């Protein structure tokens, strides 16, 4: 699969590429996809420059409700939801186009936690009535919902759930802890993976419940991620959840959760690809104007070779994003293989591009005043999110040996 993506990247002709913020995208777009790209790219160029990002990060809130509403007005928050649920009914490739632009624009607002993760749970697990209850609020920008799935000792095994939901009169009592819940400090509600039956790590017995963020018994220890995002460790102490707030079918949510995390991992690779291209363009421009020993850096052959390597890495990333996005709704084995392959290739190439961008900029590349350092931190965070390349390489190897995907690859 890695070889397939490389061949696809190297066989591309310039005429098949589109442009996002000045860099090429390694696959042709249909007219409606190009319109989507022009919309999000035009908005970012006009309304979300680097100074805007820094101002938002330094604000007490750490994110912008105005930007969130503007994204809703553009239709970006309802993009993956079915039209009958209040969305636009677009697919994984369209979502990748938007995430790639978001990565290039360094948006700090919780698009991944809300639209991809929480939205994915609604699409893959919830009933039609539950989608009608939650989706309009997300698509309109009225409310932020997030997914709480990771646990302190889970080691990327989505079935390793100790948060319990014990049935009581009228509902469930939820007790336990979730780790690094992205977007939790600003969320109205959390969709929480819980164990309603079975023993720890059993595939059966996993459900998803909705818990209001301000419900009695919910306690958050908030933090900022390295790239400026919002997150929290969340404790649940005998939190009451009514029966109607259990999403979908009781005890059978794991396949849907696995699907959502794979989809989110692919979305992360698209975000990384956008950041990689932005770093490459900035480094290329810097090499053209920075002088040393009587000539610009771009005139040194060793720098030229390094820039070419960075460009090739970005092209590989685009090819892998496309390949993975095409498999989002394939059978679970093919989807998992494509997801793991993309995270391996783009994780490694992303770190290569980020590290070389900082090195070629010199000391200024490490300063907060230059966006290069912000892209570096973005790629660093995304590289480890949902499993780093080493984890996914083990996962990919295991998937080649088995007829069904497994989410547990602990060392």
Residue 298 is predicted with a pLDDT of 81
- pLDDT tens per residue across span 103-152: 999 999 999 999 999 999 999 999 999 999 999 999 999 999 999 999 99
- List domains and CATH numbers for the chain: 2-144 (1.10.540.10), 146-254 (2.40.110.10), 257-401 (1.20.140.10)
Residue 62, SS3 per DSSP: coil
Model confidence band, residue 10 (pLDDT cutoffs 50, 70, 90)? very low
Question: How far out from the chain centre does Cα 324 lie?
Answer: 13
Q: Which two tokens stand for residue 250?
A: 């009781």
The pTM is what?
0.90
Separation between Cα atoms, residue 385 and residue 269, nearest integer Å: 10
Residue 27 has pLDDT above 70, yes or no: no
Q: Evaluate if residue 275 carries a pLDDT over 70.
A: yes
Q: What pLDDT, in 10s, does the model give residues 158-197?
A: 999 999 999 999 999 999 999 999 999 999 999 999 999 9
Cβ atoms within 10 Å of 157's Cβ, excluding its own: 16
Q: Is the pLDDT of residue 61 over 90?
A: yes
Cα separation of the two ends of the chain: 24
pLDDT for 30 equals: 86
pLDDT band at 155 (very low <50, low <70, confident <90, very high): confident
**C-alpha dist (Å) from residue 152 to 17, 134, 163, 222:** 43, 28, 11, 15
Q: Which two tokens stand for residue 44?
A: 């970012």
Cβ–Cβ under 8 Å, residues 75 and 13: no
Please report the pLDDT score of residue 29 as a whole number. Answer: 80
């Amino acid at each position: 699969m890695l070889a397939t993506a490389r061949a696809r990247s190297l066989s591309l002709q310039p005429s098949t590429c589109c442009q996002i913020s000045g860099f090429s995208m390694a696959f042709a777009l249909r007219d409606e996809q190009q319109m989507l790209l022009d919309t999000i790219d035009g908005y970012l160029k006009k309304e979300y420059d680097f100074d805007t990002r820094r101002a938002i990060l330094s604000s007490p809130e750490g994110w912008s409700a105005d930007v969130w509403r503007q994204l809703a007005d553009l239709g970006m928050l309802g993009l993956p939801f079915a039209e009958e649920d209040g969305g636009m009914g677009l697919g994984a490739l369209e979502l990748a186009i938007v995430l790639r632009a978001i990565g290039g624009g360094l948006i700090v607002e919780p698009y991944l936690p809300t639209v991809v993760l929480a939205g994915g749970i609604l699409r893959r697990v919830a009933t039609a009535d539950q989608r009608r209850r939650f989706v309009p609020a997300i698509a309109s920008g009225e409310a932020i919902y997030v997914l709480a799935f990771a646990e302190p000792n889970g080691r990327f095994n989505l079935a390793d759930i100790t948060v319990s939901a014990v049935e009581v009169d009228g509902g469930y009592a939820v007790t336990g802890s979730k780790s690094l819940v992205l977007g939790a400090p600003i969320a109205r509600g959390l969709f929480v993976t819980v164990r309603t039956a079975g023993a720890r790590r059993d595939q059966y017995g996993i459900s998803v419940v909705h818990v209001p963020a301000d419900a009695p018994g919910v306690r958050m220890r908030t933090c900022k991620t390295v790239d400026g995002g919002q997150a929290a460790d969340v404790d649940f102490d005998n939190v009451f959840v009514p029966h109607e707030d259990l999403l979908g079918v009781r005890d059978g949510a794991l396949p849907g959760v696995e699907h959502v995390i794979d989809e989110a991992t692919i979305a992360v690779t698209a975000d990384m690809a956008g950041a990689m291209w932005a770093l490459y363009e900035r480094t290329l421009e810097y090499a053209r104007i920075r002088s040393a020993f009587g000539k610009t850096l771009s005139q040194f052959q060793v720098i030229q070779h390094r820039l070419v390597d960075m460009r090739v890495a970005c092209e590989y990333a685009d090819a892998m994003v496309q390949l993975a996005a095409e498999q989002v709704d394939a059978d679970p084995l093919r989807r998992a293989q494509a997801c793991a392959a993309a995270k391996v290739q783009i994780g490694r190439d992303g770190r290569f591009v980020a590290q070389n961008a900082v090195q070629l900029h010199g000391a200024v590349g490490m300063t907060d005043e230059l966006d290069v350092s912000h892209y570096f931190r973005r790629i660093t965070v995304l590289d480890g999110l949902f499993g780093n390349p080493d984890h996914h390489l083990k996962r990919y190897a295991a998937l080649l040996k088995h007829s069904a995907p497994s989410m547990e690859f602990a060392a």
